[in-house]
Structure 1
Amino acid sequence: MKVLFVVPYPVGQAASQRYRVEQWLPLLQEQGSLYKLAPFWSQSTWPVLYKPGHIGKKALGLLAGFWRRLLLLARLPRYDYIFVHREATPVGPPWFEWVAAKVLRKKIIFDFDDAIWLPDSNRGSGWRKKLKWRHKTAQICRWSYKVSCGNDYLRNYALKYNAAAVLLPTVLDTDQVCINRKEQQTAEVAIGWIGSHSTLPYLQLLEPVLQRLERKYSFKLYIIADRPPQLQLQSVIFKQWRRGTETEDLLEFHIGLMPLPDTDWARGKCAFKALQYMALGIPAVVAGVGANLGAVADGRTGYICQTEQEWYERLEELILEPGKRAGMGAAGQEWVKARYSLQAHRHTFLSLFS
């Protein structure tokens, strides 16, 4: 079997692609399959892609990406499956997918882990959002052999256009990331959050809660991201996200946060932050939105919060009770191993190619 992975980002750079595509590649090798990854964005464009300015470099990167996609069409006949993660091109209609499915009659496996048919209010201006051509998601679903969806909300959308929509959560290789973690009982409590610039605004939802806690307790608030947060808090310690130190930095946390607004876009999120925390033995305190409701066992592996007062009370409880943190952390590791691990979903992934 030969598989072409049509992906947006350079290899090893974006969490979505690393966990939805790249971490599965050794499993394909075990099965004797051959594969190739074809990113849209180049390594040279990636460092400036989400930074202000650099318009010329971004424009050249966009044109180069389209040129690579045109050249790629000639190589499609040699592959048995075309696996498209999110989209083949970041703007415009789905011409690449149409040629692959309708002209070359290739089996497309379409994978997505966000509500990509909806505009993201955190990103871009009006004209940029129009260029995204969000309605192409439905078209690609129709043309696909199978659709791989990161949670039930996304799958229910895909099922409207394709009966072969499969639930494949974003999972972790627990053989690699689950660590026997011993919390330092005397250490100052560290609350933490990890994410990208696109989800940083969600932290502002917790700003009043964290300000209240700061007035009463001493703690550190670690923020791991690609840019500093804009928060009126005294306890913030910003750490630049780096792949090589991601696990080490997360292990500083005693409590992990995942706030979300109750919107259609947020309901498409796959609770991955919460899974990362729990896999490392860190209790996850999350908003009661979307996939979070199923990913966290409320009161066992963390807490699901609906109101500001609930956020305050749950965080206060975990700040004060190290024994509860340790118990929830251990339960969270077992929970992730059983339900959200690479090992638990290997059959689901391989079934996409049958």
Structure 2
Amino acid sequence: MDILERVKKDCCGCSACMNACPRSCITMKPDSEGFLYPSVDEDKCVGCDKCAKVCPVLNSGRPDNQPKAYLVRNRDASLRKSSTSGGFFAAAAEYVLEQGGCVFGVGFDENFAVRHSFIESMDDIKKFNRSKYVQSEVGFSYRKVKEFLESGRKVLFTGTPCQVEGLLNYLGRDYDGLYTMDIICKGVPSPKFWSKYLAWQKKKSGKDIREVRFREKTYGYGSTTMRVVYSDGTEYDEPYDVDPMLQFYSKEMISRPSCYNCHVKGKHRRSSFTVGDYWYVSGAAPEMDDGIGVSQVLVNNEKAAAAFENIRKHLDTVQLDFDKDSAINGGMMVASAKPSPRRDEMFADLDKMSVGELQRKYFPSTFKLKNSIKRQIRPLMYKTGVLKMYKKRMRKKQSEQGSRQNAAPMKRVSVYTRGFTHAASYYRILQYTEKLGNVRITNRFTVTDKMFRRYSDSPTLLCKIEYHLMIFFRNLWNFSRDIIEKPDTVVISRAAVPKVCVFPIDLMYEHILKNSKVVWDFDDDIFGINEITRAESLLLRRYSDKVIVTSDYLKNMLGKRCRKKVSLLPTTDGDFRIADKTSLNVKRQSTFAEQINVLWVGSSSGLKHIRNVVSALDNAAKEVREKTGKKLTLTVICNLPLEAETKYLEIKNILWARDIVLDEMLKAHIGIMPLLNIKRSMGKGGFKLVQYMAVGLPSVASDVGINNTVVADGETGVIVDDKENTDGWVDAVLKLSLDYNEWEAYSRASLKKWEEDFSFDRNLDFWQKTLSE
């Protein structure tokens, strides 16, 4: 089968088909424009179709990821000066090489042909520094990458987006040791034109070429030149509006045909990192604009994020808003270039004319007197600092214009909560505040955190009176502000008004609900525990545009008309996003052979549930000790201690604090969520179970309420039917305590389920869409 017939002009020349062919019947041969295309020896071909299966044109996909965007500047200024932009590639290469890995990149061979190769030492990094505006010859690099990965070595592969896609398709799976880096690519110029350019340079100078540097920072970042160093040490140094190679490239006359309809560009990519220039640095982070260069880096997945945390020790970084950044600086990231209408004419002339002659025909203005004068005064402007000031001012102006043209209108949102301490307020909405683009959230908290803690820990009569008075006066102020400011959206977290809604609060509240888009969010049976008055409930059912709950049970508590507005959204924990998942179970494995740590996290109102299973856990501790010799401990993190007598089970009480919870979860082996089979339990949202999964912690939970939909029984944990008795808890705990490999399989499955169904980024996308509409 001729793979070229399948892709025709869309072929990107990545060479994945040649690398994948088991019969070596595909070779890459240049066409009349100098670009490589697959050529198939039909006599050898067996029709296995492997070439088609790895082709990025025929098999292009988009991951459902949420990249993190950064401005990056290498702290080694001398290294940055020899890089195209901010020196991120060198830092990433060093990270891999320090671990005994190897780095694939693009360099020149002895004849200045552009080829992929690899290095194993930082001493050779200069070989890959700087862009090469020519399509590289990949050769059999993909096979070599696989060979290194199979031997257990780490690999960093850099290339254009289509080359990275070709590699990933060829490998067929994500190796733990593989990191890929693609570029924000304009297009790949013709190797044939490059060869003609080199010949023109030699003939014009009468000398051999010793070195070539694309994007030399002769006049600083943003005023780069093409530098050619000749054999006698003399130099050619001309900017993009004078040098013919840069001229023809910038005017879209020499790029590959497939670059004008690129199949792999986009904001969401399969590579580990996406790297490019960032021309709006003066507006986004003026402290980073020193005229030497910065890189825009997109960290595209969690494995890359873990590596980035290690790489950034060599870098100055500023995080950007991904969506806003993509809009302002993302033209080349997502859009294919448009070919010059004279492109075909130029290639027809290429065999008949020298590069100098082509330049005079297609860019005659290069030789006008005013341009010659401009070239003469540019060095003087650079030496006096005038050029640097001018370029910096222009970058700032571009940044401001880009922001004005592309920034979405800001949405003003008022969120009525019980403050940051209240779990439902924080985990349902407030934790997303700083991550929401084009949304400005005002937290209209109804009580202070200090008052809420007093009310939760010791609700005396006086405390209750103070609590409700504070809600009344806070709402009087909050409602007044919103009547004046008229927010686009009002979010009500559970309930906003006190138990008794009196004049003028009732009228002000209804006025706001009538005149705003209203989102009502709750994650518990607020009706059964009398957290909301009937009057407020009726108002919210009537005026809410969207109702967000955690389960079908809560959805069914609403009227038929209101149920049509309902969206289901689980509660998750952004603080528990674990960057380095490879070392997640290190502490747990080190203690698994000696003791099993069971963890319960909750408030004092939930202690009744844990008391119900303490006896069963004590029996489980006995069984674990007799069968494995291990000790079983129960850690309770709560605002009040669990008081219970046990014979074999060791109980450890810890006062709740958010940072302590994460630390203890990383030490635990089993997370538990017992629930009494009562109506109050049916509205629970399974938040503790979601937290456990976020850190790869297998769980044991009662078969009550939402638990059996959060936990995949036998995969991420064990569901116990304890409605009649709690004996099942003994077998469940024992099952997760015997064999570490079996326990680790539960741990991996838990983490995977969290990423697929309960991730922070998934919920963030939901809120972004809801509040931006």
- Normalized against structure 1, the TM-score is what? 0.88
Deviation, structure 1 residue 288: 1.2
1:281 partnered with 2:696: yes
Q: Which of 91, 111, 117 does residue 527 from structure 2 map onto?
A: 117
Q: Which amino acid aligns with 1:67?
A: F
Q: Give the match for residue 22 of structure 1.
A: 430
Task: Give the 3-state SS of the residue equivalent to 1:215 in structure 2.
Answer: helix
> How far apart, in 1, do the equivalents of 2:687 and 2:453 lie?
24
Residue 171 (structure 1) aligned with residue 572 (structure 2): yes
Question: Letter of the aligned partner of 2:768 in structure 1?
Answer: L
Post-superposition CA distance 1:238-295 (Å, at most 9, x none): 0111123220022221101001122332111111111111111110111112221111
> 1:48–1:58: 8 Å Cα contact kept in structure 2?
no
Residue 445 of structure 2: which of 39, 52, 57 is its match?
39
The gaps in structure 1 that reach 5 residues or longer are 120-128
After TM superposition, list the pairs within 5 Å mapping 1:1-354 onto structure 2: 1-8=411-418, 10-11=419-420, 13-28=421-436, 30=437, 32-52=438-458, 55-77=461-483, 78=485, 79-93=487-501, 99-102=508-511, 104-119=514-529, 133=533, 136-158=536-558, 160-162=560-562, 163-173=564-574, 176-177=577-578, 179=581, 180-182=584-586, 183=588, 184=590, 185-216=592-623, 217=625, 218-233=631-646, 234-307=649-722, 308-353=726-771, 354=773
Say which SS state the counterpart of residue 457 (structure 2) adopts. coil
Measured after TM superposition, the shift of residue 344 of structure 1 is 2.1
Structure with higher Rg: it is: 2
Deviation at residue 153 of structure 1 after TM alignment: 1.5
Query: 1:14: Cα distance to partner?
Result: 2.5
Contact 1:284-1:303 within 8 A present in 2 as well: yes
User: Which letter maps to 1:208?
Assistant: S
Residue 160 of structure 1 deviates from its aligned partner by 2.8
1:56-88, CA deviations, whole angstroms, 9 ceiling, x for partnerless residues?
354334312211101222111321111010110
| 1:135 Cα deviation from its structure 2 partner | 7.1
Distance (whole Å) between structure 2 residues aligned to residue 67 and residue 174 of structure 1: 32
Identify if the C-alpha distance between structure 1 residues 46 and 5 changes in structure 2 by more than 3 Å, giving closer, same or farther. same
Cα displacement string for residues 279-323 of structure 1 (whole angstroms, at most 9, x for unaligned residues): 111101111122211111110010111132322211111122222
Cα contact 2:518–2:546 (8 A) shared by 1:
yes
1:271–1:291: 8 Å Cα contact kept in structure 2? Answer: yes
User: What letter matches 1:224 in structure 2?
Assistant: I
Calculate percent identity across the aligned residue pairs: 24
Q: Distance in 2 between matches of 1:101 and 1:116?
A: 20
Q: Letter of the aligned partner of 1:149 in structure 2?
A: V
> Structure 1 residues 236, 90: CA separation in 2 closer, same or farther (over 3 Å shift)?
farther
Q: Any conservation in 1 of the 2:457–2:639 contact (CA below 8 Å)?
A: no
Preserved CA contact (<8 Å) 2:472 2:498 = no
Describe the shift of the 1:98–1:219 C-alpha distance in structure 2 as closer, same or farther (beyond 3 A): farther
C-alpha separation in 1, matches of 2:449 and 2:566: 32
The residue type equivalent to 2:558 in the other structure is A
Deviation at 1:133, TM superposition (A): 3.1
State the match for 2:209 in structure 1.
none
Post-superposition Cα deviations, 1:98-128, rounded to whole Å, max 9, x if no partner, equal 6444565222211000011113xxxxxxxxx
Amino acid at match of 2:542: R
Separation in 2, partners of 1:2, 1:236: 48
In 2, the alpha carbon distance for the partners of 1:115 and 1:175 equals 26
The residue matched to 1:286 in structure 2 has which SS? strand
Cα contact 1:224–1:238 (8 A) shared by 2: yes
Distance 1:173 1:50 in 2: 24
Amino acid of the residue matched to residue 335 of structure 1? Answer: K
> Letter of the aligned partner of 2:746 in structure 1?
M
Comparing 328-337 and 13-22, the one that deviates more: 13-22
CA root-mean-square deviation: 2.4
Alignment partners' CA distance in 2, 1:290 and 1:53: 28
- C-alpha spacing 1:241/1:264, structure 2 compared with 1 (3 Å): same
- By how many angstroms is 1:206 displaced? 0.8
Alignment check: 8 A CA contact 1:181 1:280 kept: no
Q: Residues 90, 322 of structure 1: CA spacing in aligned structure 2 closer, same or farther, 3 A cutoff?
A: farther
Give 3-state SS (helix, strand or coil) of 1:282's partner.
coil
Which whole-Å CA distance do the structure 1 matches of 2:528 and 2:757 have between them? 28
Shift in Å at residue 141 of structure 1?
2.2
Q: What TM-score comes out, normalization by structure 2 length?
A: 0.42
